[in-house]
Copies of this chain bind each other. A is one copy, B any other.
Amino acid sequence: MAGSDSSQRRTDNGVVTHLGGPAIVLVEPQLGENIGMAARAMLNCGLTDLRLVKPRDGWPNKDAVAASADASLVIENTRVYQTTKDAVADLELLFATTARPRDMVKRVVTARQATVELHDFATRSGKAGVLFGREAKGLLNDDVALADAVLSVPLNPGFSSLNLAQAVFAVGYEWYQYSDATPASEISMPKHTRPGTKQELIYLFEHLEEALDDSGFLRVADKRPTMVRSFRNMLGRADLTEQEIRTFRGIITSLVGKRKKRKC
């Protein structure tokens, strides 16, 4: 029961899709467009369990579908409830997204910390969720009191009011990043090439230096070692591929040819 939405579910076209992550509960959302953009943001981040409490314009909603950019996996599985307490009844951990409350005693966490706790919780297979309030007004204090903690996204204190879909995206984005294994930084290259070896790079250095000796650019003997190191550092920094080294050598050959021609 609890946690069943974290398992795999077969969709209409037979594709098995991982339906994971916390439920996103929108309380009394007004504009269908905002619901649709929130659904799109959810699917961008691998979240699929969307719940609506008394959406003003009813459900299903054409504006929501139009704004969702084909996030039909979310839109088609959206559930509608009459009260917040019905919408969260099966959840075991609940965050309420709102500004830091001034008149309540409540634990307040950042979006990043909330997703750490949501992931820790998910590994014990409990079902969790995040509440979002209506546009402009936000959540009622009675809704916040149902939650285990307040999730407050740290933002520019002079301009912190987030669009509904952006608030959903902030939570979804952190949720996705937490378990994403993309390298922080790497060189991407077409399949047909590979990083150049040091030997290939050294041949390039020597090719360039020979050409520059020949052209007279390195004629001051005192400065030659410094200049050579400078070229080598400059070219080394570019992390050239094997293909690029060949291209570069082609460039040198071409320029040498041109210069020689001009001389004639």
Residues on A facing B (Cβ under 8 Å)? 17, 37, 40-41, 43-46, 69, 71, 73, 100-110, 112-113, 116, 149-150, 152-156, 158-163, 165-166, 169-170, 173, 176-177, 180, 182-190, 193, 239, 241, 243-244
Contact assessment for A159 and B71 in the assembled complex, using a CB-CB cutoff below 8 Å = yes
| A73: B residues at CB distance < 8 A | 159
With A156-B46, A177-B112, A177-B154 as known contacts, state yes or no: A105 contacts B169, CB within 8 Å: no
What is the CA–CA distance of A110 and B186 in the complex, to the nearest angstrom?
9
Most buried by B among A40, A69, A101, A184: A184
Residues of B within 8 A of A182 (CB): 110, 152, 154
Q: List 9 A-B contacts (CB under 8 A).
A: A46-B155, A104-B189, A105-B243, A107-B186, A109-B184, A109-B185, A113-B185, A154-B176, A154-B182
With A and B bound together, what is the CA distance between A183 and B149 in angstroms?
Answer: 14
Question: Shortest 10 CB-CB distances between A and B: which pairs?
Answer: A113-B184, A154-B182, A154-B180, A46-B156, A105-B189, A108-B188, A43-B159, A109-B185, A44-B155, A113-B185
Q: Are B44 and A186 in contact (CB under 8 A)?
A: no
How far does the Cβ of A36 sit from chain B's closest Cβ, in whole Å?
A: 10
